[in-house]
Amino acid sequence: MAIQSVGVVGAGQMGNGIAHVFALAGYDVLLNDVSAEAMVKAVATIDRNLERQVGRGKIAADDKAAAMARIRTTERIEDIARTDLVIEAATENEAVKNRIFDSIVPHLGPDTILTSNTSSISITRLASRTDRPEKFMGFHFMNPVPVMQLVELIRGIATDEPTYRALVDVVERLGKTSASAEDFPAFIVNRVLVPMINEAVYVLYEGVGNVRSIDESLKLGANHPMGPLELADFIGLDTCLAIMNVLHDGLADTKYRPCPLLVKYVEAGWLGRKSGRGFYDYRGETPVPTR
């Protein structure tokens, strides 16, 4: 399967990062979002991040110019369907993802591969609603996409070998490393990572430590580059909660029960960096713990 053009649905933090690495690797990228403003912001973010790479000597100025020239945007979801590879990178909500695939499927060519950047939702279930479950996979990039080296490849129960091999080749061309994961809730990385974050929230909830002491303990005591609560804010507390709910519902084990304090923060709209407040308040010059 020769993949030259890539359609990315969702121009948020993950979508713009995915568009960035594909354009830099020589793919033609078409970026779509329901918000025209989000697409403008995404292209500006990609330009800024590429310029940062030029400044650090990671890429040449010509590489940046060529990558930016490969990125186009569209408000028409049917345009995305004409690409060789579709990557859905919308919010971690199964109903939203299903609506996206429902709108794309009628316009697809026979060989187009469908993928989702979901961090936890069943690939088999998402694929079953499309006309090509054999050409459907989980394509889970880590955040921030231009920096993180891992891509999880998740086969649904019907995914065929040529589709899997095609995506292995794509990841290699991106200069990243693929890890194959079975289609069970949250796959590998988030099956381990997000329950650790949830446990850190329980430690905060129970008063064992405050935000700063919990984060400093894991950074200095376990050599983590970022504390778990700081990391939760970076990921988005709504995303962390969604993953915990998928784990709790899918595996029916009480150890995956979301911490009530995590739920409360999400109910308050304190979702982390993207909303200005989470376990830290980001509205000043430096982040300040909120508990």
Active site residues: 119, 140, 152, 190
Residues 112/95/121/154 CA torsion (nearest 10 deg): 0
4 is in an annotated binding site: no
Residue in 119, 110, 107 with CA at minimum distance from that of residue 10:
119
**CA dihedral sign, ordered 65, 67, 68, 70:** positive
92 is in an annotated binding site: yes
Strand, coil or helix: 122: coil
12 is in an annotated binding site: yes
The C-alpha atoms of residue 16 and residue 9 are separated, in whole angstroms, by: 10
143 is in an annotated binding site: yes
Q: What is the DSSP letter of 72?
A: E
10 is in an annotated binding site: yes
14 is in an annotated binding site: yes
E strands of the chain, at which residues?
Answer: 5-9, 28-32, 71-74, 85-88, 113-116, 136-141, 150-155, 177-181, 280-281, 288-289
Going by C-beta distance under 8 Å and a sequence separation of 6 or more, which residues neighbour residue 252? none
33 is in an annotated binding site: yes
250 is in an annotated binding site: no
264 is in an annotated binding site: no
177-181: strand order across its sheet: 71-74, 28-32, 5-9, 85-88, 113-116, 136-141, 150-155, 177-181
Q: What is the DSSP letter of 129?
A: T
At which residue do the structure tokens 């990609």 appear?
Answer: 46
198 is in an annotated binding site: no
135 is in an annotated binding site: no
215 is in an annotated binding site: no
**CA dihedral sign, ordered 185, 187, 193, 196:** positive
At which residue do the structure tokens 């912001």 appear?
Answer: 41
Annotated binding site for NAD(+): 10-15, 33, 92, 97, 119, 143, 274
The binding site consists of 10-15, 33, 92, 97, 119, 143, 274
